[in-house]
């Protein structure tokens, strides 16, 4: 694991499918640590244990489901959270403890932000982090691609063409936020996160929307 902020750790990169690279992120906090996304690297769980374990694991969408959800739950006894529209896929491996349906605040400083489009129940998380910073976990709704270009999570053959307007609306919503750090689940290039200022983030989301709506089916 690599520490990227005083309270935030990044797991080693994984390649679950050809051309797909992912990270998970551990937020350390006195009220109980939170793992965003998922990792199947069991050796990472040892360092996570040294950092205080996991109290909650929050998934952004169904693509993060794997047998490791059961392993992590058995190891740490953590609660699992996901949007209700992803519940059926998640429940094939592990029954979720928390179900999201709308924007809400949980655990004191984690904002749940439904962002449908990549999948029906895709969810982003905005965290009030240390020093007044704001960390935005976008899942695959928008991801950091090659050369630091942020792209909409529209995957031909996976995302239905009619989901484009929904995904564009979700990107517009994310563009209204003011994150200091943005962290996607899947990514291309050398990193899945990037420090931001508000104008830069709006630029990235606007360009992602233009590219998304300009694609041919």
d(CA 217, CA 213): 10
Q: Which two tokens stand for residue 32?
A: 């109980």
| Whole-number Å distance between alpha carbons of 72 and 195 | 29
* CA proximity to 35, closest of 45, 92, 95: 45
Find out whether 127 and 109 touch, Cβ atoms under 8 Å: yes
> Which residue shows structure tokens 């040294």?
50
Q: Which of 11, 27, 1, 24 is nearest to 130 (CA)?
A: 27
**CB-based contact 98:81 (threshold 8 Å):** yes
Name the CATH code of domain 2-214 (choices 1.10.760.10, 3.60.15.10, 3.40.47.10, 3.30.360.10): 3.60.15.10
User: What is the per-residue pLDDT for 48?
Assistant: 97
How is the chain split into domains, by residue range?
2-214
Q: Provide the 8-state DSSP code for 121.
A: T
- Residues pairing with 150 in the sheet: 144
- The model's pTM is 0.94
| 46 three-class SS | helix
Give the per-residue pLDDT at 131.
75
Alpha-carbon dihedral 9, 15, 21, 25, rounded to 10 degrees: -20
Strand partners, 56: 34, 79
Q: How far apart are CA 156 and CA 149, in angstroms?
A: 19
- Read off the DSSP letter of residue 12: P
Is 115 in contact with 123 (CB distance < 8 Å)?
yes
Residue 17's pLDDT is: 65
Per-residue pLDDT of the chain (217 residues; tens, 9 = 90+): 999 999 999 999 888 666 678 899 999 999 999 999 999 998 999 999 999 999 999 999 999 999 999 999 999 999 999 999 999 999 999 999 999 999 999 999 999 999 999 999 999 999 998 778 899 999 999 999 888 899 999 888 788 888 999 999 999 999 999 999 999 998 887 788 999 998 899 999 999 999 999 865 5
- Distance CA(84)–CA(102), nearest Å, equals 10
Q: So what's the pLDDT on residue 25?
A: 97
Angle of the 68-76 helix axis to the 42-50 helix axis, nearest 10 = 30
- Nearest 5°: phi and psi at 71? -60, -45
Name the nearest CA neighbour of 167 among 141, 201, 144, 145.
141
Task: Give the per-residue pLDDT at 20.
Answer: 72
């Amino acid at each position: 694991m690599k520490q990227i902020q005083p309270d935030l750790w990044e797991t080693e990169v994984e390649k679950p499918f050809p051309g797909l690279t992912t990270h998970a992120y551990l937020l350390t906090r006195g009220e109980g640590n939170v793992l965003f996304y998922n990792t199947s690297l069991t050796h990472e769980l040892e360092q996570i244990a040294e950092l205080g374990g996991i109290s909650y694991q929050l998934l952004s969408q169904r693509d993060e489901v794997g047998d490791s959800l059961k392993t992590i739950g058995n190891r740490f006894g953590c609660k699992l959270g996901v949007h209700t529209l992803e519940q059926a896929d998640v429940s094939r491996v592990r029954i979720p403890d928390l179900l999201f349906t709308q924007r809400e605040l949980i655990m004191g400083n984690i904002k749940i932000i439904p962002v449908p489009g990549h999948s029906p129940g895709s969810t982003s998380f905005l965290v009030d982090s240390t020093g007044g910073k704001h960390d935005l976990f976008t899942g695959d709704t928008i991801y950091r691609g090659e050369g630091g270009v942020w792209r909409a999570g529209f995957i031909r053959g996976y995302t239905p063409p009619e989901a484009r307007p929904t995904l564009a609306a979700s990107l517009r919503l994310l563009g209204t936020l003011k994150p200091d750090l943005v962290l996607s689940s899947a990514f291309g290039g050398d990193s899945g996160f990037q420090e931001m200022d508000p104008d830069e983030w709006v630029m990235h989301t606007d360009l992602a929307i233009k590219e998304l709506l300009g694609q041919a089916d």
